[in-house]
Amino acid sequence: MKLYRAKDYYDMSRKAANIISAQVIMKPNCVLGLATGSTPVGIYKQLIEWYNKGDLDFSRVKTANLDEYKGLTKDNDQSYYYFMRENLFRHVNINEANTNIPDGTETDAIKEAARYEEAIKELGGIDLQLLGLGHNGHIGFNEPSNIFPKDTHIVDLQESTIEANKRFFDSIDQVPRQAYTMGIGTIMSAKKILLVVSGEDKAQILHDVIKGPVSPSVPASILQLHPDVIIVADEAALSKF
Q: Is 208 a catalytic residue?
A: no
Nearest to residue 32, comparing CAs of 134, 125, 107? 125
**Stretch in the footprint of ligand GLP (CB under 6 A) among 4-12, 105-113, 134-142, 228-236:** 134-142
Closer residue to ligand GLP in complex, CB, 61/182: 182
Contact 210, 3 (CB under 8 A): yes
38 binds ligand GLP (CB under 6 A): yes
Residue closer to ligand GLP, measured from CB, 59 or 217: 217
Tell me whether residue 46 or residue 161 sits nearer to ligand GLP (CB atom). Answer: 161
CB of residue 121 to ligand GLP, shortest distance in Å = 21
Give strand pairing partners of 62.
31
Whether 68 is catalytic: no
**Rounded to the nearest 5°, which phi and psi values hold at 193?**
-125, 135
Which residue stretch of 33-41, 54-62, 169-177, 218-226 sits at the interface with ligand GLP (rule: CB under 6 A)?
A: 33-41
Least Cα distance to 202 among 182, 216, 217, 218 occurs for: 218
- Of the candidates 13, 36, 46, 99, which one interacts with ligand GLP according to CB under 6 A? 36
151/81 Cα distance (integer angstroms): 20
Looking only at residues 51 through 70 of this chain, which bind ligand GLP when binding is defined by CB under 6 A? 66-67
Can 136 be counted among the known catalytic residues?
Answer: yes
Task: Give the closest residue to 175 by CA, choosing from 74, 84, 75, 76.
Answer: 76
Is 226 one of the annotated active-site residues of the chain?
A: no
Range list of β-strands (E), the chain: 2-6, 31-34, 62-65, 67-69, 99-100, 128-131, 153-156, 178-181, 192-197, 229-234
Q: Which is nearer to ligand GLP, 60 or 224 (CB)?
A: 224
Q: How far apart are CA 93 and CA 63, in angstroms?
A: 13
Active site residues: 67, 136, 138, 143
* Residues at the site binding ligand GLP, with contacts judged by CB under 6 A: 35-39, 66-67, 132-134, 140-141, 161, 165
